Structure 1
Amino acid sequence: MSYIDEIYSYGQVIQDLETSPFETVNALHLRSELEQKYKELTVSEKQQLAVYDRILLSNAKVMYDHLRKGYNFPSHKPIREWWWHLDKVVNGELVFNASEVT
Structure 2
Amino acid sequence: MSEYKQDILNYGDDVNDFDSSPFESLRMLHDRTNIHMVQNKLEFEEKVLLGYYDLKLIENANKMVKRLRNVYDFKLSDENKIPHEQWWWHLNKIAEGMMDFGISTEKGKAI
What is the aligned-residue identity percentage?
36
Deviation per CA, 1:65-92: give whole Å up to 9, x if none.
1111111112132111000101111121
RMSD: 1.5
Q: Can you give the 5+ residue segments of structure 2 that lack an aligned partner in the other structure?
A: 105-109
User: Cα distance, 1:32 vs. partner?
Assistant: 0.4
Q: TM-score, normalised by structure 1?
A: 0.90
Distance 2:85 2:52 in 1: 17
Query: After TM superposition, where is structure 1 displaced by more than 6 Å over at least 4 residues in a row?
Result: none
Tell me, which stretches of 5 or more residues in structure 1 are unaligned?
none
Answer with 47-56 or 76-85: which moved more.
76-85
Aligned pair partner of 1:89 in 94, 99, 103: 94
Find the aligned partners of 1:96 and 1:64 in 2 and give their Cα distance.
Answer: 15
Alignment coverage as a number of residue pairs: 101
Map of 2:72 onto structure 1: 71
Larger Rg: 2
Give the TM-score taking structure 2 as reference length.
0.84
Pairs within 5 Å for 1:3-42: 3-42=4-43
